[in-house]
């Protein structure tokens, strides 16, 4: 092949290669266009889908608030943030569990949320739901306070008043010793076994469960003091008299000693307690000074007529009164009288002569304070 032919052949080869490259570029451009178009189409489809997913809980869905109406929800003991979110979502308080758990994790105080029932709005923003659970004002609780010295009937009235339960339901529960966990040594009578304290109950708790909590606290206190089961009724009865006889705990120990001394004294007092508090209980009174008719009323609680302790406690003794009965101070006192009703000053005596002098002081006080 001559030189000119060789040159023509090389030129033709270069042209052929150039044609092939152009064809490849066109194909690549077409493929790229198709891919880009496909991606664009996909994005047009996917964006609303992702947006939809976010609105359905992936994002998460949340109510704008501020909420409406009211619903009662119960947060169980030991509930995690997710558990709470589930409860709230089912009650339509929050839009999604995810929204609540995110808000829960964002609130540094969320771990302080307590178990219990709460009054919340429906369709609240999740962050507001967390804040509402941290606000004690939203806690749906029933608070029952049993003061020291309260008679059982007063406790029943307090439960009925605070909880809205019918009085007959409370009394029926009290009449069922097994239902309220009353120990056998109580003889079926809950008087004195309903511990003085402040209790918190949940909406929906029945009378039996409330009374059962009170009895259980009394048993716990007696066990803590080391009182054997056989001695529980005696201790409660003595402590209830101590509680009703004087207002100042500083005198509880001496009154407890007087009770013990009088029970065992046959020479001066014949084993008679002669306590006004028991006389008043026997005639259905909760306070005041016994009348002549009260003192003459022959019932088992009249300790001017019957020796020894009354058949049951006469109220709810507090812890200080219980401790006084378990650990009374030494002393030979047989008498005591409060000589000043304003200050509660009380004087103790070992003989009737000393006691009469103290009584004269009390009468002088009454003459100077006729009101």
Distant-in-sequence, close-in-space partners of 44: CB < 8 Å, separation ≥ 6: none
Give me Rg for the CA atoms of the chain: 41
Structurally, the chain folds into a number of domains equal to: 3
Residue 35 pLDDT: 38
* 37 domain-assigned: no
The pTM for the full model equals 0.73
pLDDT at 370 over 50: yes
Q: How far is CA 76 from CA 8, 79, 110, 133, 206, in A?
A: 93, 6, 15, 13, 18
Residue 21 pLDDT: 56
**% of the chain exceeding 90 in pLDDT:** 74
Residues 121 and 155 in one domain: no
Q: Is 123 left (phi over 0), alpha (psi -120 to 50) or beta?
A: left
Residue 127's domain comprises 68-138
Distance CA 144, CA 147 (A): 10
Taking the mean position of all CA atoms in its chain, how far away is CA 306? Answer: 42
* 350 domain-assigned: yes
Tokens 């009584």 correspond to 359
Cα-based angle 26, 31, 35 (whole degrees, multiple of 5): 150
Q: Is the CA virtual torsion 244, 248, 249, 255 positive or negative?
A: negative
Question: Could you tell me the pLDDT band of residue 353, with boundaries at 50, 70 and 90?
Answer: very high
- In tens, the pLDDT along 18-40 reads 545 555 555 544 443 433 344 34
- In tens, the pLDDT along 183-212 reads 999 999 999 999 999 999 988 899 999 999
Of 161, 106, 95, 154, give the one whose Cα is nearest residue 130.
106
Residue 204 pLDDT: 85
Of 244, 275, 271, give the one whose Cα is nearest residue 260.
271
* 213 domain-assigned: yes
Residue 7 pLDDT: 53
Residues 204 and 243 in one domain: no
* 282 domain-assigned: yes
Of 186, 156, 181, give the one whose Cα is nearest residue 169.
156
Tokens 């049993």 correspond to 146
Strand 197-201 versus strand 142-146 pairing type: antiparallel
* 334 domain-assigned: yes
Distant-in-sequence, close-in-space partners of 217: CB < 8 Å, separation ≥ 6: 195, 197
Distance CA 23, CA 250 (A): 110
Structural domain ending residue among the three candidates 118, 138, 158: 138
What CATH number is attached to the domain comprising 75?
Answer: 3.30.1490.480
Residue 263 pLDDT: 96
Residues 352 and 236 in one domain: yes
Residue 121 pLDDT: 93
pLDDT at 265 over 80: yes
Least confident of 111-120, 256-265, 290-299: 111-120
């Amino acid at each position: 092949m001559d030189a000119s032919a060789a040159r023509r052949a090389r030129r033709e080869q270069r042209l052929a290669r150039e044609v092939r490259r152009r064809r490849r570029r066109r194909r690549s451009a077409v493929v790229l266009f198709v891919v880009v178009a496909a991606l664009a189409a996909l994005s047009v489809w996917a964006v609303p889908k992702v947006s939809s997913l976010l609105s359905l809980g992936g994002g998460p869905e949340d109510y704008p608030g501020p909420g409406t109406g009211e619903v009662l929800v119960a947060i169980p003991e030991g509930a995690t943030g997710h558990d709470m979110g589930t409860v709230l979502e089912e009650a339509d308080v929050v839009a999604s569990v995810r929204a609540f758990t995110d808000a829960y994790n964002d609130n540094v105080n969320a771990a302080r949320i307590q178990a219990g029932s709460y009054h919340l709005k429906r369709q609240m923003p999740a962050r507001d739901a967390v804040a509402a659970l941290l606000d004690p004002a939203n806690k749906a609780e029933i608070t029952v306070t049993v003061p020291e010295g309260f008679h059982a009937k007063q406790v029943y009235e307090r439960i009925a008043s605070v909880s809205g339960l019918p009085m007959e339901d409370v009394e029926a529960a009290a009449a069922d010793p097994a239902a309220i966990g009353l120990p056998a040594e109580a003889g079926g009578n809950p008087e004195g076994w309903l511990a003085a304290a402040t209790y918190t109950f949940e909406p929906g708790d029945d009378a039996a469960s409330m009374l059962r909590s009170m009895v259980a606290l009394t048993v716990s206190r007696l066990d803590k003091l080391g009182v054997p089961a056989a001695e529980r009724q005696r201790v409660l009865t003595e402590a209830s008299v101590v509680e009703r006889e004087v207002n100042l705990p500083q005198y509880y120990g001496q009154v407890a000693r007087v009770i013990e001394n009088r029970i065992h004294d046959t020479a001066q007092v014949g084993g008679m307690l002669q306590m006004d508090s028991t006389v008043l209980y026997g005639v259905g009174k909760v306070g005041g000074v016994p009348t002549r008719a009260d003192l003459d009323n022959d019932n088992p609680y009249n300790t001017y007529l019957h020796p020894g302790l009354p058949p049951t406690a006469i109220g709810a003794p507090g812890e200080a009164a219980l401790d006084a009965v378990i650990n009374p101070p030494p002393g030979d006192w047989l008498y005591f009288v409060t000589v000043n009703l304003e200050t509660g000053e009380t004087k103790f005596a070992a003989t009737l002569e000393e006691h009469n002098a103290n009584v004269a002081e009390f009468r002088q006080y009454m003459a100077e304070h006729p009101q």
